[in-house]
Chain A
Amino acid sequence: MHEDLQRLTRELRKETCPQRVLEEVARRISAQSPQPSRLRYALAGALAGLILLCGLALWQWPPGRDGHERLQQAAGSKIDNAQIAEQAEGALGCIGRVLLDAGSQSEKVILQGAVPPLRDSLETAKNKIVNHITL
Protein backbone atom coordinates (compact mmCIF):
# COMPACT_ATOMS: atom_id res chain seq x y z
CA MET A 1 0.00 0.00 0.00
CA HIS A 2 1.10 3.57 -0.65
CA GLU A 3 3.11 5.08 2.18
CA ASP A 4 0.81 8.10 2.50
CA LEU A 5 -2.16 5.80 2.45
CA GLN A 6 -0.72 3.81 5.33
CA ARG A 7 -0.11 7.02 7.22
CA LEU A 8 -3.67 8.16 6.51
CA THR A 9 -5.00 4.86 7.77
CA ARG A 10 -2.98 5.14 10.95
CA GLU A 11 -4.12 8.71 11.52
CA LEU A 12 -7.77 7.95 10.90
CA ARG A 13 -7.63 5.04 13.32
CA LYS A 14 -6.59 7.50 16.01
CA GLU A 15 -9.67 9.66 15.54
CA THR A 16 -12.08 9.47 18.44
CA CYS A 17 -15.60 10.67 18.97
CA PRO A 18 -15.70 13.75 21.22
CA GLN A 19 -17.20 13.29 24.67
CA ARG A 20 -19.71 16.09 24.04
CA VAL A 21 -21.50 13.81 21.57
CA LEU A 22 -22.31 11.33 24.32
CA GLU A 23 -23.34 14.14 26.66
CA GLU A 24 -25.70 15.50 24.04
CA VAL A 25 -27.13 12.01 23.45
CA ALA A 26 -27.72 11.59 27.19
CA ARG A 27 -29.42 14.98 27.34
CA ARG A 28 -31.70 14.17 24.41
CA ILE A 29 -32.61 10.78 25.86
CA SER A 30 -33.56 12.34 29.19
CA ALA A 31 -35.62 14.93 27.32
CA GLN A 32 -37.38 12.16 25.41
CA SER A 33 -38.56 10.32 28.52
CA PRO A 34 -41.99 11.71 29.55
CA GLN A 35 -42.17 13.64 32.82
CA PRO A 36 -45.04 12.70 35.18
CA SER A 37 -47.51 15.58 35.16
CA ARG A 38 -50.00 16.79 37.78
CA LEU A 39 -52.85 15.54 35.62
CA ARG A 40 -51.46 12.02 35.83
CA TYR A 41 -51.34 12.17 39.61
CA ALA A 42 -54.89 13.55 39.69
CA LEU A 43 -56.16 10.78 37.41
CA ALA A 44 -54.43 8.13 39.51
CA GLY A 45 -55.96 9.59 42.70
CA ALA A 46 -59.43 9.71 41.17
CA LEU A 47 -59.13 6.11 40.05
CA ALA A 48 -58.01 4.97 43.48
CA GLY A 49 -60.94 6.82 45.08
CA LEU A 50 -63.38 5.22 42.69
CA ILE A 51 -62.05 1.76 43.47
CA LEU A 52 -62.35 2.49 47.19
CA LEU A 53 -65.96 3.60 46.80
CA CYS A 54 -66.83 0.51 44.80
CA GLY A 55 -65.26 -1.66 47.50
CA LEU A 56 -67.28 0.06 50.22
CA ALA A 57 -70.48 -0.30 48.22
CA LEU A 58 -69.89 -4.02 47.75
CA TRP A 59 -69.10 -4.41 51.44
CA GLN A 60 -72.40 -2.75 52.38
CA TRP A 61 -74.44 -4.79 49.89
CA PRO A 62 -75.31 -8.10 51.81
CA PRO A 63 -77.58 -6.66 54.61
CA GLY A 64 -79.76 -5.11 51.95
CA ARG A 65 -81.20 -6.93 49.04
CA ASP A 66 -78.94 -9.91 49.29
CA GLY A 67 -79.96 -10.62 52.90
CA HIS A 68 -83.61 -10.60 51.93
CA GLU A 69 -82.88 -13.03 49.15
CA ARG A 70 -81.05 -15.25 51.57
CA LEU A 71 -84.08 -15.28 53.94
CA GLN A 72 -86.33 -16.20 51.05
CA GLN A 73 -83.97 -18.95 50.08
CA ALA A 74 -83.90 -20.26 53.68
CA ALA A 75 -87.74 -20.31 53.85
CA GLY A 76 -87.83 -22.03 50.50
CA SER A 77 -85.44 -24.64 51.73
CA LYS A 78 -87.62 -25.39 54.79
CA ILE A 79 -90.64 -25.98 52.57
CA ASP A 80 -88.65 -28.18 50.34
CA ASN A 81 -87.45 -30.30 53.29
CA ALA A 82 -91.01 -30.91 54.50
CA GLN A 83 -92.15 -31.87 51.04
CA ILE A 84 -89.21 -34.21 50.61
CA ALA A 85 -89.90 -35.88 53.98
CA GLU A 86 -93.53 -36.32 53.05
CA GLN A 87 -92.70 -37.73 49.68
CA ALA A 88 -90.07 -40.02 51.18
CA GLU A 89 -92.55 -41.26 53.75
CA GLY A 90 -95.05 -42.01 51.00
CA ALA A 91 -92.40 -43.72 48.95
CA LEU A 92 -91.30 -45.87 51.87
CA GLY A 93 -94.90 -46.86 52.59
CA CYS A 94 -95.40 -47.78 49.00
CA ILE A 95 -92.24 -49.87 48.99
CA GLY A 96 -93.38 -51.61 52.18
CA ARG A 97 -96.74 -52.45 50.66
CA VAL A 98 -95.12 -53.76 47.53
CA LEU A 99 -92.80 -55.92 49.57
CA LEU A 100 -95.68 -57.32 51.66
CA ASP A 101 -97.67 -58.06 48.51
CA ALA A 102 -94.68 -59.66 46.97
CA GLY A 103 -94.20 -61.78 50.10
CA SER A 104 -97.77 -62.98 50.13
CA GLN A 105 -97.70 -63.59 46.41
CA SER A 106 -94.47 -65.48 46.63
CA GLU A 107 -95.84 -67.60 49.45
CA LYS A 108 -98.82 -68.53 47.33
CA VAL A 109 -96.68 -69.18 44.33
CA ILE A 110 -94.31 -71.36 46.29
CA LEU A 111 -97.10 -73.36 47.99
CA GLN A 112 -99.14 -73.81 44.86
CA GLY A 113 -96.58 -73.83 42.10
CA ALA A 114 -93.31 -75.20 43.45
CA VAL A 115 -94.20 -77.46 46.45
CA PRO A 116 -96.61 -79.98 44.75
CA PRO A 117 -94.23 -80.87 41.88
CA LEU A 118 -91.39 -81.06 44.32
CA ARG A 119 -93.42 -83.34 46.57
CA ASP A 120 -94.44 -85.49 43.62
CA SER A 121 -90.88 -85.82 42.43
CA LEU A 122 -89.75 -86.74 45.90
CA GLU A 123 -92.49 -89.39 46.09
CA THR A 124 -91.46 -90.79 42.74
CA ALA A 125 -87.83 -90.92 43.74
CA LYS A 126 -88.70 -92.60 47.02
CA ASN A 127 -90.81 -95.20 45.23
CA LYS A 128 -88.08 -95.92 42.77
CA ILE A 129 -85.54 -96.35 45.50
CA VAL A 130 -87.84 -98.58 47.49
CA ASN A 131 -88.64 -100.71 44.45
CA HIS A 132 -85.01 -101.00 43.52
CA ILE A 133 -84.07 -102.20 46.96
CA THR A 134 -86.79 -104.83 46.96
CA LEU A 135 -85.70 -106.05 43.54
Chain B
Amino acid sequence: MIRELEFKVLCQRHRDEIYRYARALLANQADAEDATQEVLLRLWNHLPRISPFNLRAWLLQTTRHFCLDQLRRRSNPAAPMLVDDEFLDDRPDELAVNPSLAADCTFRLEQARRALLRLPENLRSVFVLYEINGLRYREIAATLGIPINSVKVYLSRARERLSNLIAQEERCTKTCND
Protein backbone atom coordinates (compact mmCIF):
# COMPACT_ATOMS: atom_id res chain seq x y z
CA MET B 1 0.00 0.00 0.00
CA ILE B 2 2.80 2.39 0.96
CA ARG B 3 4.71 1.32 -2.11
CA GLU B 4 1.78 2.14 -4.37
CA LEU B 5 1.33 5.52 -2.75
CA GLU B 6 5.02 6.35 -3.00
CA PHE B 7 5.03 5.23 -6.62
CA LYS B 8 2.07 7.44 -7.50
CA VAL B 9 3.72 10.46 -5.90
CA LEU B 10 6.97 9.79 -7.73
CA CYS B 11 5.14 9.34 -11.02
CA GLN B 12 3.34 12.63 -10.61
CA ARG B 13 6.55 14.39 -9.74
CA HIS B 14 8.90 13.00 -12.36
CA ARG B 15 6.82 11.87 -15.33
CA ASP B 16 7.07 15.20 -17.17
CA GLU B 17 10.82 15.43 -17.02
CA ILE B 18 11.19 11.82 -18.09
CA TYR B 19 8.86 12.45 -20.99
CA ARG B 20 10.60 15.66 -22.06
CA TYR B 21 14.01 14.04 -21.96
CA ALA B 22 12.78 10.99 -23.85
CA ARG B 23 11.16 13.19 -26.45
CA ALA B 24 14.34 15.19 -26.92
CA LEU B 25 16.29 11.97 -27.43
CA LEU B 26 13.80 10.02 -29.53
CA ALA B 27 12.31 12.98 -31.38
CA ASN B 28 8.92 11.35 -31.47
CA GLN B 29 5.93 11.72 -29.19
CA ALA B 30 4.73 8.10 -29.35
CA ASP B 31 8.22 6.74 -28.72
CA ALA B 32 8.67 9.18 -25.85
CA GLU B 33 5.42 7.95 -24.30
CA ASP B 34 6.58 4.34 -24.63
CA ALA B 35 9.91 5.24 -23.07
CA THR B 36 8.20 7.01 -20.17
CA GLN B 37 6.00 3.96 -19.59
CA GLU B 38 8.99 1.66 -19.58
CA VAL B 39 10.99 3.85 -17.21
CA LEU B 40 8.06 4.11 -14.78
CA LEU B 41 7.62 0.34 -14.87
CA ARG B 42 11.31 -0.10 -14.09
CA LEU B 43 10.87 2.38 -11.26
CA TRP B 44 8.04 0.23 -9.89
CA ASN B 45 10.16 -2.91 -10.07
CA HIS B 46 13.29 -1.34 -8.55
CA LEU B 47 11.63 1.05 -6.11
CA PRO B 48 12.65 -0.74 -2.88
CA ARG B 49 16.29 -0.76 -3.96
CA ILE B 50 16.64 2.83 -5.17
CA SER B 51 18.06 5.41 -2.82
CA PRO B 52 15.69 8.37 -2.52
CA PHE B 53 18.68 10.73 -2.68
CA ASN B 54 19.65 9.34 -6.06
CA LEU B 55 16.20 8.84 -7.50
CA ARG B 56 16.08 11.67 -10.01
CA ALA B 57 19.48 10.79 -11.45
CA TRP B 58 18.44 7.12 -11.58
CA LEU B 59 15.26 7.95 -13.48
CA LEU B 60 16.94 10.14 -16.05
CA GLN B 61 19.84 7.72 -16.41
CA THR B 62 17.37 4.90 -17.03
CA THR B 63 15.53 7.07 -19.53
CA ARG B 64 18.75 7.81 -21.35
CA HIS B 65 19.85 4.18 -21.47
CA PHE B 66 16.45 3.04 -22.66
CA CYS B 67 16.26 5.70 -25.38
CA LEU B 68 19.79 5.08 -26.61
CA ASP B 69 19.08 1.37 -26.67
CA GLN B 70 15.92 1.94 -28.69
CA LEU B 71 17.78 4.14 -31.15
CA ARG B 72 20.55 1.60 -31.52
CA ARG B 73 18.06 -1.21 -32.13
CA ARG B 74 16.08 0.66 -34.70
CA SER B 75 19.09 2.36 -36.24
CA ASN B 76 16.71 5.19 -36.72
CA PRO B 77 18.26 8.06 -38.63
CA ALA B 78 15.42 10.31 -37.55
CA ALA B 79 17.15 11.09 -34.33
CA PRO B 80 20.77 11.85 -35.07
CA MET B 81 22.93 10.27 -32.43
CA LEU B 82 26.42 11.50 -32.93
CA VAL B 83 26.15 13.18 -36.26
CA ASP B 84 27.62 16.54 -35.78
CA ASP B 85 27.26 18.64 -38.87
CA GLU B 86 25.38 16.27 -41.05
CA PHE B 87 21.99 17.59 -42.03
CA LEU B 88 18.93 15.56 -41.29
CA ASP B 89 17.35 14.17 -44.37
CA ASP B 90 14.84 11.88 -42.77
CA ARG B 91 12.96 13.82 -40.14
CA PRO B 92 10.05 12.62 -38.08
CA ASP B 93 6.72 13.64 -39.44
CA GLU B 94 5.71 15.76 -36.50
CA LEU B 95 8.89 17.76 -36.78
CA ALA B 96 8.85 18.27 -40.51
CA VAL B 97 7.95 21.69 -41.72
CA ASN B 98 4.21 21.83 -41.88
CA PRO B 99 2.89 24.15 -44.59
CA SER B 100 -0.16 24.83 -42.48
CA LEU B 101 1.99 26.44 -39.84
CA ALA B 102 1.62 29.88 -41.22
CA ALA B 103 2.44 31.73 -38.10
CA ASP B 104 6.02 32.84 -38.16
CA CYS B 105 6.44 32.26 -34.48
CA THR B 106 5.46 28.61 -34.71
CA PHE B 107 7.62 28.14 -37.73
CA ARG B 108 10.64 29.54 -35.94
CA LEU B 109 9.91 27.30 -32.99
CA GLU B 110 9.93 24.31 -35.28
CA GLN B 111 13.24 25.46 -36.67
CA ALA B 112 14.63 25.60 -33.15
CA ARG B 113 13.30 22.12 -32.44
CA ARG B 114 14.98 20.76 -35.53
CA ALA B 115 18.18 22.45 -34.56
CA LEU B 116 18.02 20.81 -31.15
CA LEU B 117 17.61 17.40 -32.76
CA ARG B 118 20.70 18.00 -34.83
CA LEU B 119 22.87 18.33 -31.74
CA PRO B 120 25.02 15.36 -30.73
CA GLU B 121 23.41 13.27 -28.01
CA ASN B 122 25.74 14.33 -25.20
CA LEU B 123 25.27 18.05 -25.88
CA ARG B 124 21.54 17.60 -26.33
CA SER B 125 21.24 15.68 -23.08
CA VAL B 126 23.11 18.34 -21.13
CA PHE B 127 21.05 21.12 -22.72
CA VAL B 128 17.71 19.43 -22.10
CA LEU B 129 18.55 18.37 -18.56
CA TYR B 130 19.79 21.82 -17.60
CA GLU B 131 17.62 24.23 -19.55
CA ILE B 132 14.36 22.29 -19.74
CA ASN B 133 14.32 19.91 -16.79
CA GLY B 134 16.17 22.30 -14.51
CA LEU B 135 18.76 19.91 -13.12
CA ARG B 136 21.89 21.19 -11.42
CA TYR B 137 25.39 20.59 -12.75
CA ARG B 138 25.99 17.96 -10.07
CA GLU B 139 22.80 16.07 -10.95
CA ILE B 140 23.58 16.15 -14.66
CA ALA B 141 27.08 14.87 -13.95
CA ALA B 142 25.62 11.99 -11.91
CA THR B 143 23.04 11.22 -14.59
CA LEU B 144 25.43 11.20 -17.51
CA GLY B 145 28.42 9.85 -15.59
CA ILE B 146 30.73 12.71 -16.54
CA PRO B 147 32.66 15.30 -14.49
CA ILE B 148 30.94 18.55 -13.54
CA ASN B 149 33.43 20.56 -15.58
CA SER B 150 32.48 18.57 -18.66
CA VAL B 151 28.84 19.39 -18.01
CA LYS B 152 29.67 23.11 -18.03
CA VAL B 153 31.71 22.78 -21.21
CA TYR B 154 29.01 20.71 -22.93
CA LEU B 155 26.34 23.21 -21.97
CA SER B 156 28.32 26.12 -23.33
CA ARG B 157 28.99 24.21 -26.56
CA ALA B 158 25.36 23.17 -26.86
CA ARG B 159 24.14 26.77 -26.58
CA GLU B 160 26.69 28.01 -29.05
CA ARG B 161 26.00 25.26 -31.56
CA LEU B 162 22.25 25.62 -31.23
CA SER B 163 22.46 29.33 -31.95
CA ASN B 164 24.56 28.56 -35.03
CA LEU B 165 22.17 25.85 -36.16
CA ILE B 166 19.14 28.09 -35.74
CA ALA B 167 20.86 30.81 -37.71
CA GLN B 168 21.73 28.23 -40.35
CA GLU B 169 18.10 27.11 -40.52
CA GLU B 170 16.98 30.70 -40.93
CA ARG B 171 19.44 31.25 -43.76
CA CYS B 172 18.29 28.06 -45.40
CA THR B 173 14.66 29.12 -45.13
CA LYS B 174 15.38 32.53 -46.61
CA THR B 175 17.27 30.95 -49.50
CA CYS B 176 14.40 28.56 -50.14
CA ASN B 177 11.89 31.41 -50.07
CA ASP B 178 13.97 33.53 -52.44
Chain A positions within 8 Å of B, measured between CB atoms, are 1-2, 4-5, 7-9, 11-13, 15-18, 20-22, 24-25, 28-29
Contact = CB atoms under 8 A, between A and B. Distances in A.
Contacts of B37: 21, 24-25, 28
A5 B119 CA distance: 13
Secondary structure dominating the interface of A: helix
A4 B36 contact: no
Contacts of A13: 20, 132
Contacts of A1: 159, 163
Given A4-B166, A8-B116, A29-B41, A16 B111 contact: no
B162 A15 contact: no
B41 A2 contact: no
Contact of A16 (B16, B24, B41): B16
A28 B108 contact: no
A22 B109 contact: no
Contacts of B18: 17
B84 interface: no
Interface in B64-114: 105, 108-109, 111-113
B16 A15 contact: yes
A4 B162 CA distance: 10
Contact of A21 (B24, B33, B109, B163): B33
B134 to A, nearest CB: 8
- Most chain B CB within 10 A, of A7, A17, A25, is at A17
A9 B16 contact: no
Interface in B111-129: 111-113, 116, 128
Interface string B44-58: 100000000000000
Given A12-B20, A22-B15, A28-B41, 18 more contacts: A2-B163, A2-B166, A4-B111, A4-B112, A4-B166, A5-B166, A7-B112, A8-B113, A13-B132, A15-B16, A15-B23, A16-B19, A21-B15, A21-B33, A22-B11, A25-B37, A25-B41, A29-B41
Contacts of B167: 2
B26 interface: no
A79 B19 CA distance: 89
B6 interface: no
